[in-house]
Amino acid sequence: MLDAVIWGGAGLTLLGVVGLLACVWMAWRAKTSGLPDEAIRQKLQRVVVLNLGALAVSALGLMAVVMGVMLK
């Protein structure tokens, strides 16, 4: 049972890290797009929201891994 919590948490953490990498890629593309400053600012505001979501998913995954290891 706790193995499922550990592996599920590891999967969530991996999903969060992929989301963080996607945010880096999206921010880099926005910066190098040559758009006006206002358009870049709007894109980066969206990236910030996705970044916080990815960070939260990753943190939840790490919490699940730690709880699974501590209770095992």
pLDDT band at 68 (very low <50, low <70, confident <90, very high): very high
Range of the domain at 23: 2-71
| pTM summary value | 0.87
The CA-based angle 27-30-32, given to 5 degrees, is 110
Q: Using CB atoms within 10 A of its CB, is residue 9 exposed (0-12), middle (13-18) or buried (19+)?
A: buried
Identity of the residue numbered 50: L
d(CA 3, CA 35): 48
Number of independent structural domains in the chain: 1
The predicted-structure confidence for 12-62, as pLDDT tens digits, reads as follows 999 999 999 999 999 999 999 999 999 999 999 999 999 999 999 999 999
Tell me what percent of the chain is helix, strand and coil, each rounded to the nearest 5: 90, 0, 10
